[in-house]
């Protein structure tokens, strides 16, 4: 990924130096190189406020400033920065200050007296890195927003699915990844030959009464194997000798990382539906 030259030349640059001659030299050099958004100050005390207002892409910072030196300025910028990237290139005539400045958070340094080719090269390289960093930040924000929006859509879709399936069926159930029932309506527990005390909607009657054991065993094995199924028929005979027939469907559930998170299913009583139509 490369940053276009026009974008680099439009970068916001702040020159901080108490020597007016140095400021004029840097402004002339950068202006001739094509940079169009230059600002300057001779006071380290003003840097943080100016950066908060203009969000500079690069700060050329002299270390030897009155009232507040460059090291104190960098410390203040880090304390009040909106991100963890300090866009500072220090200007120094002291060789011993270069390493100290980098340890304090500066991204690079330019030696005094200025070598004009070095100044242009270091500034351009620094700006390209800074603008790439900004572009990456923007892309990450867009990705996070897209993930949040998609998650909200999935939750809304899931809520609609549950509502519609419950309306379209006689009963509905959900299980978590360990097989524990988390949502139950209708005779699911009896159908599967299970009993879970305290679960809202669970059947209170005898778990195995009247159900076809072969059909029930096949249904349990299908769910335990996390296989989907459609319109599986299972029946039971009630105490008064009535034959009741059910049609059930189910599917495993996965999160957006394809991790299994549980199982869900619906069912309808076939004979009940026939009798309603017949009436």
List the pLDDT tens digit at each of the 279 positions of the chain: 678 889 999 999 999 999 999 999 999 999 999 999 999 999 999 999 999 999 999 999 999 998 899 999 999 998 876 567 788 999 988 888 888 888 888 899 898 888 889 899 999 999 998 898 888 888 888 888 888 777 777 766 666 656 555 555 677 888 899 888 888 876 666 666 654 333 333 333 334 467 888 888 898 899 889 999 888 988 888 777 788 888 888 899 888 778 899 998 888 888 643 334 444
Paired tokens of 126: 């620094």
Specify which residues 251 forms β-bridges with.
264
Question: How far is Cα 238 from Cα 211, in angstroms, rounded to an integer?
Answer: 9
CATH topology match: 5-142 vs 169-278: no
Q: Which CATH code is given to the segment(s) 5-142?
A: 3.40.50.2300
Q: Does domain 169-278 fall into CATH 3.30.450.20?
A: yes
Domain ranges of the chain: 5-142, 169-278
CA distance 169 to 264: 13
CA 41 to chain centre: 39
Quote the pLDDT of residue 166: 54
pLDDT recorded at residue 276: 40
The confidence score (pLDDT) of residue 159 equals 63
**Residue of 248, 139, 132 lying closest to 192 (CA atoms):** 248
Angle at 34 between CA 74 and CA 87, to 5 degrees: 15
Cis omega (within 30 of 0) for bond into 14: no
* The 3-state secondary structure of 163-211, one letter per residue: HHHHHHCCEEEEEECCCCEEEEECCHHHHHCCCCCCCCCCCCCCCCCCE
According to the model, what pLDDT value does residue 136 have?
86
Please tell me whether residue 34 adopts helix, strand or coil conformation.
coil
């Amino acid at each position: 990924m490369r940053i276009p030259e026009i974008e680099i030349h439009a970068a916001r640059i702040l020159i901080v130096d108490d020597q007016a001659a140095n400021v004029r030299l840097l402004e002339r050099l950068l202006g001739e190189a094509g940079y169009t958004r230059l600002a300057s100050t001779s006071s380290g005390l003003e840097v943080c406020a100016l950066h908060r207002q203009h969000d500079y892409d690069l700060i050329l910072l002299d270390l030897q400033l009155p009232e507040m030196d460059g090291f104190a300025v960098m410390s203040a910028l880090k304390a009040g920065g909106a991100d963890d990237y300090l866009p500072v290139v220090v200007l120094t005539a002291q060789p011993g200050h270069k390493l100290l400045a980098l340890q304090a958070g500066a991204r690079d340094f330019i030696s005094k007296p200025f070598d004009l080719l070095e100044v242009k090269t270091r500034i351009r390289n620094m700006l390209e890195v800074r603008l790439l960093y900004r572009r990456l930040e923007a892309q990450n924000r867009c990705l996070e927003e897209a993930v949040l929006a998609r998650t909200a859509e999935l939750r809304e879709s899931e809520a609609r699915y549950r509502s519609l399936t419950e309306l379209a069926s006689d009963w509905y159930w959900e299980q978590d990844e360990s097989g524990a029932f988390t949502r139950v309506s209708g005779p699911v527990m009896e159908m599967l030959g299970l009993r879970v005390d305290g679960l809202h909607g669970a059947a209170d009657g005898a778990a195995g009464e009247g159900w076809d054991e072969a059909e029930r065993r096949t249904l349990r094995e299908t769910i335990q194997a996390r296989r989907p199924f459609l319109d599986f028929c299972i029946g039971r005979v009630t105490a008064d000798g009535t034959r009741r027939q059910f049609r059930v469907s189910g599917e495993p559930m996965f999160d957006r990382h394809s991790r299994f998170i549980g199982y869900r299913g619906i069912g309808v009583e076939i004979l009940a539906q026939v009798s309603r139509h017949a009436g």
